[in-house]
Copies of this chain bind each other. A is one copy, B any other.
Amino acid sequence: MFEARLGSTTLLKKIVDALKEILSQSTLDCSASGIQLQAMDNSHVSLVAMSLSRECFERYRCDRNVSLGLDLKSLMKVLKCASGDDAVTISAADKADKLQLRFESAGNERTADYELRLLNLEQDHLAIPETDYACIVHMPSTEFARICRDLATFSESVVIACSKDGIKFSASGELGSANITLSETSKGDVSLQVEEPVTLCFAGRYLNSFTRATSLADKVKIGLAADVPLLVEYPIEDHGYIRYYLAPKVDDPD
């Protein structure tokens, strides 16, 4: 038996929304410690890892490990049947082929039960090595989203250069070019930890897809190191996160 209850569906909607474009189907791995997900995106270029530890939930019970294969678009459709302030309980019997979702309205006048068919998905379990990033940047998540959106106008590729002086995002193409530099401000909304300066180039469309998670967190953490995938991490309420990984382009700034 697996059962987990959240006080509001809004958080779950945001999480699924942050995943569903990049991952049409995926497996949730539920264990006593919480819920994990890890997968390559649909085009097998970037990688997503999500973790919600049991502390994220109002109630959490997982008698034995279960893997729940879900179609995330379908899950989103079901979540749309709930109001944002409904409490949601997801549950599955052992070896179930259905996920149960129960929505309870704030005043408890209304209960709606949904079942979502589970899928048997191939598990591509990827070990993500802990990386010692040469640069770690924290910045407002909306700012990161804004930059990714703006740079997409100029080029498919985005160059990120980070040093002690700041982090610079650049794109250039037919239209012209763009350079956005952020340095550590007194307000402390940008922070840099730089062991060694790094300059890397990434495909902007993936960066943009990562920003679907913007509403989950005020701050985003970016980790950079030479020849290692970029890390873009959005914390989820103290006890969880979504991490996106994207390998740098070998060359070819267009």
Contact surface of A with B, Cβ cutoff 8 Å: 74, 77-78, 80-81, 98-99, 109-117, 143, 150, 153, 172, 174-182, 185, 187, 189
Complex CA–CA separation, A182 to B110 (angstroms) = 6
Report how many copies the assembly holds.
2
Q: Find chain B residues with CB under 8 A from A110 CB.
A: 143, 180, 182
Q: Find chain B residues with CB under 8 A from A99 CB.
A: 176
Contact A185 B81 (CB under 8 A): no
> Which residue of chain B has the shortest Cβ distance to A113 in the bound complex?
B179
Known: A109-B189, A112-B150. A175 touches B117 (CB 8 A): yes
Contact A176 B81 (CB under 8 A): no
Contact B78 A114 (CB under 8 A): no
Known: A176-B74, A189-B109. A153 touches B115 (CB 8 A): no
> Which residue of chain B has the shortest Cβ distance to A153 in the bound complex?
B77
Q: Find chain B residues with CB under 8 A from A143 CB.
A: 110
Complex CA–CA separation, A110 to B74 (angstroms) = 40
Q: Find chain B residues with CB under 8 A from A175 CB.
A: 74, 77-78, 116-117
Contact A178 B81 (CB under 8 A): yes
Complex CA–CA separation, A81 to B178 (angstroms) = 10
Complex CA–CA separation, A111 to B168 (angstroms) = 11
> Which residue of chain B has the shortest Cβ distance to A179 in the bound complex?
B113
Contact A114 B185 (CB under 8 A): no
Complex CA–CA separation, A200 to B109 (angstroms) = 24
Q: Find chain B residues with CB under 8 A from A113 CB.
A: 178-181
Contact B185 A109 (CB under 8 A): yes
**A/B interface sample: 6 pairs, CB < 8 A:** A78-B175, A80-B153, A99-B176, A114-B176, A114-B179, A116-B175
Complex CA–CA separation, A28 to B153 (angstroms) = 23
Complex CA–CA separation, A88 to B172 (angstroms) = 20
Contact A176 B115 (CB under 8 A): yes
Which of B112, B177, B187 has a CB less than 8 Å from the CB of A109?
B187
Known: A112-B179, A113-B181, A117-B176. 10 other contacts (CB 8 A): A74-B176, A78-B178, A80-B153, A81-B150, A98-B176, A111-B181, A112-B150, A112-B180, A114-B178, A116-B175
Contact B77 A178 (CB under 8 A): no
Known: A109-B185, A109-B189, A187-B109. A114 touches B177 (CB 8 A): yes
